[in-house]
Structure 1
Amino acid sequence: MPQKKQPPTVRLRRLAAELRRLRSGADLSREDVAEQTGINTTTLYRIETARARPQKRTLMSLVALYEAPAEQRDYLVALLRDAGQQGWLRPYHSDLPEEYTAYISFEDEALGVRNYETSFIPGLLQDEDYARAVIRGVLPTATEGEVEDRVRARIQRQGVLTKSKPLRFWAVVDEAALRRVVGGSRVMQQQLRHLVEVTKAPNITVQVIPFGAGAHPGMPGQFILVEFEDPMDMDLVYIDSMAGDLFLESDAEIRRYRSIFDNLVAVALSPNDSAALIAEIAQERARKGG
């Protein structure tokens, strides 16, 4: 069985971006570089798109060709040295999709995450029973072992919210996600109570778009905008859809999704009013015998 490749890290993405910038600044095409260094164009493409980690001698050949100053060469060598460091280890998550494990790595290294959800409570705010019910519902053919692997991964991910420098998490959720009864009334009531509690953390903001807001820019589907502290680290958008997982990284795409999120914030209830609505829906569930 082929070995599962490591997902890219923020450092590897940064190294790739720097090498692209240096080549562009030297006014060289990939074909020019291949001719002058012997590094084939396919290998160079994979290095510049963070699909492959270059060997040190390859990196040194490139920075010499690009005439990078000594200080920058040292910086790139340090990036290469640390490029394989994952945000957290997943010894029992080897069967998770590569795109998802890549997202987990980026999430752990992020400064902030903005998450819009249409149908679910955001993964970082789910309790264990709700997460299990969601995963079973979305993946009806998954084995119990596969379900439990994903539940453990989801719960372990939530450590980013309580680590020494916690992730800044801002979620906008459609009211439909709060009213859909996932896992039964008791599980849903418990999840809503959990959501009320986690919204009290200073690094977590939750806003709800009520049904009364009508049509809004988020109706086509959910997305996650990941933001990094170092300006050298490119922000990215992660979309989990029926067609597969997708990462978007271009400036135009990041601006578009940031604008969409800002619009969603504008039509959503304030954080305080959102917390009140969540508590009200939880009480409704309790009155119905949840």
Structure 2
Amino acid sequence: MAPSSPTVAAWALGRRLREKRDQAGLTATAAAKRFGITSAYLSEFEHGKKNVGEDRLEALLDAYEFDKDEADELRVLRKEAGRRGWWSDYTGLFSDELLRFFGYEHGAESIRTYGSDIVTGLLQTEEYARALIEAGSPNLRLAEVDRRIQARLHRQNRLTGEDPLQLSTIMSEAVLYQQVGGREVLAGQLKYLGDLVEQQPGNLDIRIVPFEATGHEAMGGSIFHLMTFPSGKLPTLLWQETVTSTQVITDPMTVREYHLAYTEVTKAALDRKSSLLRIKDAYGRLRSRTTVET
């Protein structure tokens, strides 16, 4: 079972309340007027961006006629949503949207991720992460860079433990040769990836799309993550990243399109064993060139 996440709890609570409002035939505007709140406040807690107050929840439970068992479930969710996640220590350093992503990621059961340009954050070494952060934001102070790296490494705790995150990631073979941070940094990253694949076969699957692949649906697209959660009442969530923006998407049709794209990318990628050999080969080539030049 994935660990409890206040972000996921707030999202689950908001969805349940919104579904019940729809069943009651109330529009958001009508519901806000009926309960004496603004439409903006209603939208925020229905979308999991804000926790609903205890008194307000009790009024909603009564108005929407939840049965006792379901009402008790929602009270538990509200309590969980009020707790502090580790990412709350980084408020002000990251955007609210990115902090929400950390919360979803922490409470996810599985993540399928695609990114053609770089190693995904959950699998980055400290040195590789530092090189990316410094290159992407050259004006950051050293203390801020260090805190960003600290947060990234904290996220990686979900890959270990009694019930680790199930992570499947697909990346282009080009990632194995892009010298982020220089040869030594890349060499350390490649060795780390190879070691992880061998040490964590039960919850980690890394696939490489080889140079010889002729194409796939996600080629040239943005980084995206498909997250699933322990609760059967929560849908798959899509997180999309571009150079200028990040976005959480729950629209079923859009999520389905990305699911199909991921399936097609998987077909273009090497299998687990061949991907590991490709990683080791890239590492060996890099070390060999470094030794010759030295």
Q: What is the TM-score with the length of structure 2 in the denominator?
A: 0.91
User: Aligned to 2:65, what secondary structure does the other structure show?
Assistant: coil
Matched AA of 1:233: L
| Mean CA deviation greater in 144-153 or 85-94 | 85-94
Contact 2:6 2:85 in 1 (8 A): no
Question: How many angstroms does 1:289 deviate by?
Answer: 0.9
User: Aligned to 1:277, what secondary structure does the other structure show?
Assistant: helix
Question: How many angstroms does 1:74 deviate by?
Answer: 1.5
Contact 2:87 2:99 in 1 (8 A): no
Who is 2:261 aligned against?
Answer: 260
Q: Which runs of 5+ in 2 are unaligned?
A: none
Contact 2:6 2:80 in 1 (8 A): no
Who is 1:174 aligned against?
Answer: 172
User: Aligned to 2:290, what secondary structure does the other structure show?
Assistant: coil
Question: How many angstroms does 1:12 deviate by?
Answer: 0.4
Who is 1:276 aligned against?
Answer: 277
1:6-155 equivalences in 2 (<5 Å): 9-89=7-87, 91=89, 94-155=92-153
- State the alpha-carbon separation in 1 of the partners of residues 117 and 87 from structure 2: 29
Contact 1:13 1:49 in 2 (8 A): yes
Contact 1:172 1:207 in 2 (8 A): yes
Deviations 1:164-195 (A, max 9, x none): 21000101011111110111111111111111
- State the alpha-carbon separation in 1 of the partners of residues 144 and 29 from structure 2: 45
Matched AA of 1:97: S
1:244 aligns with 2:245: yes
Who is 2:158 aligned against?
Answer: 160
Contact 1:116 1:173 in 2 (8 A): yes
Moved over 6 A (4+): none
Query: How many residues align structurally?
Result: 284
Deviations 1:22-48 (A, max 9, x none): 111111122332343323333222221
| Mean CA deviation greater in 210-219 or 188-197 | 210-219
Matched AA of 2:206: V
- State the alpha-carbon separation in 1 of the partners of residues 38 and 270 from structure 2: 54
Question: How many angstroms does 1:137 deviate by?
Answer: 1.4
Contact 1:117 1:177 in 2 (8 A): no
| Mean CA deviation greater in 268-277 or 186-195 | 186-195
Matched AA of 1:210: P
Q: Using a 3 Å threshold, how does the CA distance of structure 1 residues 177 and 86 change in structure 2: closer, same or farther?
A: farther
Question: How many angstroms does 1:276 deviate by?
Answer: 0.3
User: Aligned to 2:212, what secondary structure does the other structure show?
Assistant: helix
Contact 1:88 1:108 in 2 (8 A): no
Question: How many angstroms does 1:20 deviate by?
Answer: 0.7
Q: Using a 3 Å threshold, how does the CA distance of structure 1 residues 35 and 95 change in structure 2: closer, same or farther?
A: closer
Contact 2:87 2:102 in 1 (8 A): no
Over aligned residue pairs, what C-alpha RMSD do you find? 1.8
Contact 2:116 2:172 in 1 (8 A): yes
Matched AA of 1:23: R
Q: Using a 3 Å threshold, how does the CA distance of structure 1 residues 30 and 96 change in structure 2: closer, same or farther?
A: closer
User: Aligned to 1:275, what secondary structure does the other structure show?
Assistant: helix
| Mean CA deviation greater in 179-188 or 88-97 | 88-97
User: Aligned to 1:264, what secondary structure does the other structure show?
Assistant: helix
- State the alpha-carbon separation in 2 of the partners of residues 138 and 8 from structure 1: 30
Deviations 1:219-248 (A, max 9, x none): 212111111111122321112222211111
| Mean CA deviation greater in 251-260 or 171-180 | 251-260
| Mean CA deviation greater in 85-94 or 7-16 | 85-94
User: Aligned to 1:226, what secondary structure does the other structure show?
Assistant: strand
- State the alpha-carbon separation in 1 of the partners of residues 155 and 235 from structure 2: 21
Question: How many angstroms does 1:158 deviate by?
Answer: 0.8
- State the alpha-carbon separation in 2 of the partners of residues 158 and 133 from structure 1: 18
Question: How many angstroms does 1:51 deviate by?
Answer: 2.4
Percent identity, aligned pairs only?
28
